[in-house]
Amino acid sequence: MIYTAIEALKEKDGSSKRAIAKYIEQVYTQLPPNHSNLLTQHLTHLKSRGLLQMVKKSYGLPRSVPVSIPGPAPTEGTSVVPAAVVAITTTPRPRGRPHKAQNPVQNSPLPQDIVNVQVQQNAEPVWTALGLADEIGLCKLQMFFFQLFFKNFS
């Protein structure tokens, strides 16, 4: 019924689903009440199997001879690989943003000249500037932190 409707309508760009339904309703009088649902199912089934072409929401019969543009002939050294095989072998792109490249400077160990920095003896620490430490306690506190700091790097 669908093929006869498309052939009878003879539209250049194909026939719409509504035009096909109207033609079938005019020609065939005893149709089930769910005719529009059945027509939609059959049109999608025929389209998925390649028996109908859909162009701009219009259905048409496929051409008898597929039009193909001849490409350059393959040379003896090259092999022709179908596109389906190429698509299967490639992995899909992962989701999300790619990882940031690691900077080699960040992962390298610290040079020895940076580790063995001489501490200035007359530098005024923050605790003294704020009045939180006295002179004797300050010296002990400085020595504790310097030993702790340099112990971690050696």
The whole-model pTM stands at: 0.39
Task: Flag whether 11 is in a domain.
Answer: yes
Please report, for the domain that includes residue 25, its CATH number: 1.10.10.10
Where do we find the tokens 């790619």?
98
pLDDT tens digits, residue range 86-106? 556 677 888 888 888 877 665
Question: What is the span of the domain harbouring residue 140?
Answer: 114-153
Pick the closest to residue 17 from 55, 74, 62 (CA basis). 55
Task: Flag whether 133 is in a domain.
Answer: yes
Task: Flag whether 87 is in a domain.
Answer: no
Task: Flag whether 32 is in a domain.
Answer: yes
**Count of structural domains within the chain:** 2
pLDDT tens digits, residue range 103-116? 766 555 555 555 55
